[in-house]
A and B are shown apart, each in its own frame.
Chain A
Amino acid sequence: MTTLTARLKGHRGAAYPLVMLVVFFVVPFVIMLSVSFFSRDDGAFFQPAFELSNYSRFISPFFGKVLLTSLTLSAAAAIISVSVAVPFTYFVTRMRARWQSVMLVFLLSVLSLSEVIIGFAWSTLLSKTAGIGNLFVAIGLMETSQSFTPSLGALLLGLTYLGLPYAVLVLYPALSRLDPEIPEAARMLGASPIRSFFNVVMPMMRNTITGALILVFVFTLGAYLLPQVLGRPQHWTLSVHITDQAIFQSNLPFAAAMAIFLMLVSLALVGISTLLGRART
Chain B
Amino acid sequence: MTQVQIENVTKKYGNFKAVDGVTVDIPDGSFVCLLGPSGCGKTTLLRLIAGLEDLSGGSLSVGGMDYSKVPAHKREFGMVFQSLALFPHLTVAENIAYPLKIRGVSASDRRARALELLDLVKLPDIADRQIHQLSGGQRQRVAIARGLAIDPKVFLLDEPLSALDANLREHLQIELRQLQKTLGVTTIVVTHDQREAMSMADTVIVMEAGKVQQVGTPVEIYRNPANAFVANFIGVSNLLAGRLTGPAQFTFDGKVINLTPEDILHVQKGQAGTLSVRPEDIVVLPDPAQGQLNGQVNFIRDLGANVEILVRVGDIDIISVCAPQSRPGVKMSDRVGIQILTGRATVLAA
Residue numbers of A with Cβ under 8 A of B are 179, 181-182, 184-193, 195-196, 199-200, 203-204, 206
Contacts and interface: CB of A to CB of B under 8 A. Distances in A.
Interface string B69-98: 001111111110111011111000000001
Given A190-B102, A190-B103, A182 B72 contact: no
B146 interface: yes
Contacts of A204: 87-89
A187 B72 contact: yes
Contact of A188 (B79, B83, B89, B103): B79
Pick the most buried of A181, A185, A200, A204: most chain B CB atoms within 10 A of its CB: A185
Given A188-B50, A190-B76, A181 B85 contact: yes
B226 to A, nearest CB: 33
Given A190-B73, A190-B76, A191-B73, A185 B81 contact: yes
Given A195-B102, A204-B89, A181 B83 contact: yes
Contacts of B89: 200, 203-204, 206
Contacts of A193: 73
Nearest to A185: B85
Contacts of A206: 89
Contacts of B174: none
Determine the main DSSP class of A at the interface with B. Answer: helix
Contacts of A189: 73, 98-99, 102, 146, 149-150
21 contacts: A184-B72, A185-B79, A185-B86, A187-B73, A188-B50, A188-B52, A188-B72, A189-B73, A189-B99, A189-B102, A189-B146, A189-B150, A190-B73, A190-B99, A190-B103, A190-B150, A191-B98, A192-B71, A195-B102, A199-B98, A200-B89
Contacts of B150: 189-190
Given A182-B85, A184-B85, A191-B73, 6 more contacts: A181-B83, A182-B87, A185-B86, A188-B50, A189-B102, A203-B89
Nearest to B152: A188
A184 B87 contact: no
A203 B73 CA distance: 20
Nearest to A206: B89
Contacts of A185: 79, 81, 85-87
Interface of B: 50, 52, 71-79, 81-83, 85-89, 98-99, 102-103, 146-147, 149-150, 156
Contacts of B98: 186, 189, 191, 199
Contacts of B50: 188
A206 B71 CA distance: 28
A184 B73 contact: no
Contact of B77 (A179, A188, A195): A188
Closest 5 CB pairs of A and B: A185-B85, A189-B99, A181-B85, A188-B79, A181-B81
Nearest to A196: B73
A203 B103 CA distance: 20
Contacts of B73: 187-193, 196
Pick the most buried of A190, A199, A200: most chain B CB atoms within 10 A of its CB: A190
B122 to A, nearest CB: 22
A185 B76 CA distance: 12
Pick the most buried of A182, A186, A189, A206: most chain B CB atoms within 10 A of its CB: A189
